[in-house]
A and B are shown apart, each in its own frame.
Chain A
Amino acid sequence: MNITKDAENWIISRDFYRDVENLIWNHCPDQFEDESISSWFTRTTKMNCAGTLETFHELMKKQILFEHIETVTSVKCNLIKSLEPYVNINRLIKHEYNPQALMKHFFLVIYSTPKYCPFCLKTDNIPYFRFIWQLPFVTVCPNHHILLLTTCPSCQSRIQYWRTEWNRPIYCCNNCQYDLRENYVMENKKLENTHFQDDLVSIYQTSSYNDEKIDNALFFENLYRVARITCPDQEIHWKRIKDLFKIEPFRMYLAVNYAFQRFQENIRIFLDSPISYQNLIRFCAKFNPKPTLSRVDRKKYAKRSYKS
C-alpha cells in the first residue's frame, strides 16, 4: 500500500479497492467417502441458497433429468466438468472425477430412486444420502440391519431429496415436508441377508468374485435376470403393480427392488454350491437368452426389461 504519511498531512492512498473476479461459490462442503454425488450437489446448492434442479439445469444448459447424474456416466462427467469454475473440485472424492473409475457406475445397477435409512440420517452430524443406497441389491442398512425405505412414511411419495425446496433440509420429504428421520418402526432383517448384500457390494466395488476378476456390468445384469426368474411371487406382484400404478417407471423400480429382496432369501443356493461366475452366465443364458444390453441406451433396456 502506497501511503504517504507526514506529521502535518493526512494519509493519502493511491491503491484503490478493486472487485476481484471470483466465480467460486462461497460454500462448498467436502463429499463424504460414501456419499452420492447427487447428495453432495444437493447439499452444496442448499448451502448457497439455490434450488438444486435450477442450478443443475443452469450448469448443464439443456434439459437432462437430474436422476441421470448417478445412472449415466456422461451426465456425471459433464456435471463435474461444468462445476470446475465454481467449486474446488478436490472437495469431491477422487473416484468421482476419475473418468476411468466413473465407468463402474454403469447403468443397470443403479436406481435413480434412492433408498434411505432413517437411523443413518438421524445419527449423521450432517445428514447425507449414501451411494450404496441406490444399488438395487442393497435393501438392508449395513449399519442398522433394517430395511431401507423407498418412500416417505407419511405421504408414500418416492424420495427425491433434490426436489426439496432450496430452504428445506435434505432429509425432508419433497412432497409433504415430513422429516424422514422421524420413523423408528422398522423391520429387522436377518444378518445373513446383510452378509450376502455385503458380498455383492464388495463385488461391485472391487470387480472380483472369489478372487476372480469379473465384468461387473455383465455380472449384475445377469444377477438381475436371476432375481427376476427366481422371485417366487413375481407374476402376482407385477400384475398388482401394473393394475395399481399403470406401469409408471418408478414403480417398476420398486418391483425390481422387491424382486431383489426375495432373491436375497433364495440366493444361498447359488452361493453354497460351487457355482462360478461363468456358470452364472450360462445359467442366465439358458433361462433368459437375451443379448447383452447396452450400458448407455437406457430406453432400449427399459423396453426389453419391462415388457413382460
Chain B
Amino acid sequence: MLDSQDNSENERRNFDPTIQERLEGILSEKYIHTPMNKELWFLLEDLMLQVNPISPKPKVMGLLITAPPHAGKTTGTRQFKKSYLENVKDARDEDIVIFQIPSRAQLKGVIYKLGNQIKIPDLPLSTPSSYLRYPTFVLVEKVAKKLWNDGTKLVIIDEFQKLFELSSESRVEIISGFNDLVNESHVPIVLVGVNGVEKILDLEHYEDLSNLKGTFCSRFPEFKLKPWIDPDDIDFIKLLHTIASDCGLSSDMNGEDFIKDFKTRKRILEMTGGLTGKIIHLIKWTARQMIRSPKQKCITSILLESTFSQIQAKGW
C-alpha cells in the first residue's frame, strides 16, 4: 500500500511543469561575479587602456591568467567581453578578440587560425593550400597589422596549456611568436591556462640564451585565480549563500543550514578542491536531488556526499 502511494507520488512528479521550471533555473549555467573575478576584470580593463591609436605604446604589458580547471578562467574572461559590449558606448565586437589555441598546432597554425578568426580574407580554413602561401613571420606581421587596423584593444588567448602537448622547440617558438605579436601589434595579449610560464618553459635540453623566460615573465605577469581554502572565509560563505539563494534553497526549504555548519563547508571545499565551478555544480545538483526526492527537506552532509559520488561517477 505504502509502495503504491510512493509510486503514485513519483508518477505525479514526473513532467510536472512547475518542477521542470525550477530545475531549468537551478541547472542552468551560472556566472557569479566573485571579488576575485572583479579584481580580474579591473586588470583586464586597465590593460585595454594601454592601446592608444595616436601614439602606440612601445612596450605593451600582457597578462597570464592561471588557475586549475573549473576555476572559472574562461567564463570570467568571456563574461568580461559580454559586459564590455553591453556597458561601453560604441563598443565593437572586434575590440576584444577571444581565441582558443588549437590542439597540437605549431606557431604557424596558431597564427593562421587567429588570422582567420579576425577575418583576414586570404587566410581561409577551407583551402589547405593557402596555409603554405605565407611564411610564419609574414603571418605574424599580417595579424599584428590587422589587429592594429581593427582597433583591437585586447586579445585573450585561451587554452594556453595546450602548449604542453608540443615539443620543447615548438613551445619556445610559440611563446616567442606571441612576444613578437605583442611588439608588432601594440595590442595587449592575455594568456589563459592552467599553468604558469615557468612550467611551460621548464624544458630539458633548453638553454634560455635570449632570456625568453625573463622577458616573458616581465611582459606577462601572472594572475592566479586562487581556489577557496578557508571554510570560514566570509567571501566563501557569501558565495555559498549566493548559490543557495539562486537555487531557491533559502525560502521554502530552509536549506541554508548547511552554510552555517563549519564541517559541511569544510567538506564542500574538500570535495570540490575549492574551485568555484565545482562548488556551483555540486550545490545545484544537490538542490536537484532535493527536488527529485520528496523525502529530502534540506541539504545535509549525507545528501552532499551522495550527490558528490554521483557527480564523480559521471564526471564534473
Contact = CB atoms under 8 A, between A and B. Distances in A.
B119 interface: yes
Nearest to A6: B245
B124 A58 contact: yes
B29 interface: yes
Nearest to B115: A49
Bin the interface of chain B by size.
35 or more
Interface stretch (A19-27, A203-211, A251-259, A288-296): A19-27
Contacts, number: 97
B238 A10 contact: yes
Given A1-B86, A16-B78, A17-B81, A49 B31 contact: no
B140 to A, nearest CB: 12
Interface in A1-18: 1, 4, 6, 8-17
Nearest to A4: B246
B122 A55 contact: yes
A49 B30 contact: no
Interface string A23-58: 101110000000000000000010111110011001
Given A26-B150, A45-B121, A54-B122, A12 B246 contact: yes
Contacts of A15: 82
B146 interface: yes
B75 interface: yes
B121 A9 contact: no
A8 B241 contact: yes
B266 interface: no
A49 B120 contact: yes
Nearest to B126: A58
A17 B33 contact: no
Nearest to B148: A49
Nearest to A14: B28
A51 B122 contact: yes
Contacts of A16: 29, 31, 75, 78-79, 82
A9 B86 contact: no
A86 interface: yes
B248 to A, nearest CB: 11
B133 interface: yes
A23 B149 CA distance: 17
B82 to A, nearest CB: 4
B207 to A, nearest CB: 35
Given A20-B93, A26-B119, A167-B141, A48 B238 contact: no
A166 interface: yes
B60 interface: no
Given A9-B238, A10-B34, A50-B120, A166 B133 contact: no
B146 A49 contact: yes
Interface in A147-185: 166-167
B130 interface: yes
A156 B269 CA distance: 76
A134 B238 CA distance: 73
Interface in B77-92: 78-79, 81-82, 85-86
Interface of B: 28-34, 75, 78-79, 81-82, 85-86, 93-94, 98, 118-124, 127, 130, 133, 141-143, 145-146, 149-150, 238-239, 241-242, 245-246
30 contacts: A9-B246, A10-B33, A10-B242, A11-B33, A12-B30, A13-B79, A14-B29, A16-B29, A16-B75, A16-B82, A17-B79, A17-B82, A19-B98, A22-B93, A23-B119, A26-B149, A27-B150, A45-B122, A48-B121, A48-B146, A49-B142, A50-B123, A54-B122, A54-B133, A55-B121, A58-B122, A58-B124, A86-B121, A166-B122, A167-B141
Given A16-B75, A17-B78, A27-B149, 18 more contacts: A1-B86, A8-B241, A11-B32, A12-B32, A12-B246, A14-B29, A16-B78, A17-B79, A17-B82, A19-B98, A49-B145, A50-B120, A50-B121, A50-B122, A50-B123, A50-B142, A58-B127, A166-B122
